[in-house]
């Protein structure tokens, strides 16, 4: 069974998780912006996506490649400021056709927000958004940034990849 990692990120944290998974498994890694990122060449897929403005950034690519994603074993890892939660599951559900969602396991990873990498107007937008955020911790993080990057959090993904590889071995 051949597998590959396809990721979509903007500020580097999703790419970092993709690299950690690639290092641990030897699977090739593709940025979805690469012209050669073709999921139809693989038996199982690890899809990684950051969450910006309550949506998965991989959503348009996933819709455009729906026929190639259908029927292949898949994991989705999301990288976000919100930790695993009902609201995160709702954002994920709203980003993907339900048919695709039912075919894959979702693992929620916690990312990083470095304000020094953002433009002044984006910092302003986040600050304004924080005014309406009822969660005090999330409010603080929107204003000041956060870093929850954690290599050990990829373990559940490595476990599922191991199952994909093992099941392929026996067929």
Ligand X SMILES: Cc1cc2nc3c(=O)[nH]c(=O)nc-3n(C[C@H](O)[C@H](O)[C@H](O)COP(=O)(O)O)c2cc1C
**Minimal distance, residue 20 CB to ligand X, in Å:** 13
DSSP state of 103: T
Contact call for residues 37 and 31 (beta carbons, < 8 A): yes
Instruction: Return the residues of window 111-170 that contact ligand X according to CB under 6 A.
Output: 111-113, 118, 122
Spell out a b/e string for 43-81, using b for 16 or more CB atoms within 10 Å of the CB, else e: ebbbbbbbbeeeebbbbebbeebeeebeeebbbbbbbbb
Single out the segment in contact with ligand X by CB under 6 A; choices: 25-33, 34-42, 66-74, 105-113.
105-113
Single out the segment in contact with ligand X by CB under 6 A; choices: 26-34, 51-59, 65-73, 94-102.
51-59
Contact call for residues 51 and 78 (beta carbons, < 8 A): yes
**Minimal distance, residue 161 CB to ligand X, in Å:** 20
Instruction: Return the residues of window 11-50 that contact ligand X according to CB under 6 A.
Output: 11-14, 50
Of 27, 79, 107, 154, which lies in the binding site for ligand X, with binding defined by CB under 6 A?
A: 79
Shortest-Cβ-distance residue relative to ligand X: 111
């Amino acid at each position: 069974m051949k597998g590959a990692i396809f990721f979509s990120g903007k500020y580097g944290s999703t790419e970092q998780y993709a690299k950690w998974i690639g290092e641990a498994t030897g699977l090739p890694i593709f940025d979805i912006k690469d012209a050669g990122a073709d999921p139809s060449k693989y038996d199982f897929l690890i899809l990684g996506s950051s969450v910006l403005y309550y949506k998965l950034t991989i959503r348009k690519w996933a819709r455009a490649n729906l026929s190639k994603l259908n029927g292949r074993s898949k994991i989705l890892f999301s990288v976000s400021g919100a930790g695993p939660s009902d609201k995160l599951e709702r954002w994920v559900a709203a980003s993907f056709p339900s048919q695709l969602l039912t075919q894959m396991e979702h693992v929620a990873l916690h990312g990083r927000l470095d304000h020094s990498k953002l433009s002044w107007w984006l910092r302003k937008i986040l600050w304004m958004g924080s005014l309406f955020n009822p969660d005090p911790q999330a409010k603080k993080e929107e204003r000041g940034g956060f870093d929850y990057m954690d290599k050990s959090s990829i373990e559940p993904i490595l476990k599922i990849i191991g199952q994909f590889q093992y099941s392929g071995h026996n067929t």
